[in-house]
Chains A and B, each alone.
Chain A
Amino acid sequence: SAVISQKPSRDICQRGTSLTIQCQVDSQVTMMFWYRQQPGQSLTLIATANQGSEATYESGFVIDKFPISRPNLTFSTLTVSNMSPEDSSIYLCSVDGGSSYEQYFGPGTRLTVT
């Protein structure tokens, strides 16, 4: 399994500002994923981030709004840009477990935009 940490664990931000969320894994992984979970809802995949290539975004999510970096095999960041109250959610990163087929999830970042 993989142990994943995220920073910050929560934040309250003003409308129009940006927040960068960090995801750190304790082992090298090829595929990382970023999800959004709106209050009381299921998880929606934002993008897949592979090291050495541009992130692949899902329908409804764009790079200008959610830029992602993946500088190495243990780290990724997701930025939520020009925030509005509708961006208030939990943001989770996960990694693909390879041959185990599982995904391992970080604890999430709870974002509130006022």
Chain B
Amino acid sequence: AQSVAQPEDQVNVAEGNPLTVKCTYSVSGNPYLFWYVQYPNRGLQFLLKYITGDNLVKGSYGFEAEFNKSQTSFHLKKPSALVSDSALYFCAVRDSGTYKYIFGTGTRLKVLA
């Protein structure tokens, strides 16, 4: 069965510092991986995806993620955090057969001024 793990419930980082939000996955076959962000009282917004190609994927709002096949990881990164990045972040994997997403448990990012 496919699964996604986000080992950290919360990540705190000072504004201006680099941030990393971790995600590991378990899939059979090639993984289709995604990051979404959820601001309070809002739906999910797409940040970036890995389907194939370069392991470093760039997305919205200055975020990027690195696909690491040997470590089965897809960590979300940003070189310099902003207070406005504070939100709930979800990693997801897409089931290639059913098109369903399997979501991680979410990581709350708090950027401190």
Which residues of A does B touch, CB under 8 Å?
4, 31, 33, 41-43, 45, 48, 92, 94, 96, 101-108, 110
A103 to chain B, nearest CB (A): 6
B43 & A106 in contact (Cβ 8 Å cutoff): yes
> Assuming the A-B contacts A42-B105, A42-B106, are A105 and B100 also in contact, with contact meaning beta carbons closer than 8 angstroms in the complex?
no
The docked-state distance in angstroms from the alpha carbon of A4 to that of B49 is 20
* Chain A residues closer than 8 Å to B49, beta-carbon distance: 101-102
B42 & A42 in contact (Cβ 8 Å cutoff): no
B100 & A48 in contact (Cβ 8 Å cutoff): yes
A102 & B46 in contact (Cβ 8 Å cutoff): yes
The docked-state distance in angstroms from the alpha carbon of A96 to that of B106 is 21
A43 & B43 in contact (Cβ 8 Å cutoff): no
Among B36, B42, B43, the one with the most A-chain Cβ atoms within 10 Å of its Cβ is: B43
Partner pick for B100 among A33, A101, A104, CB 8 A cutoff: A33
Among B45, B49, B99, B106, the one with the most A-chain Cβ atoms within 10 Å of its Cβ is: B99
A103 & B103 in contact (Cβ 8 Å cutoff): no
Q: List 7 A-B contacts (CB under 8 A).
A: A33-B101, A42-B90, A43-B101, A103-B46, A105-B44, A106-B43, A108-B43
Q: Mark B97-113, 1 if CB is under 8 A from A, else 0.
A: 01111011110000000
A92 & B44 in contact (Cβ 8 Å cutoff): yes
B42 & A48 in contact (Cβ 8 Å cutoff): no
A45 & B100 in contact (Cβ 8 Å cutoff): yes
The docked-state distance in angstroms from the alpha carbon of A43 to that of B2 is 15
The docked-state distance in angstroms from the alpha carbon of A31 to that of B101 is 12
B71 within 8 A of A: no
Partner pick for A31 among B43, B44, B99, CB 8 A cutoff: B99
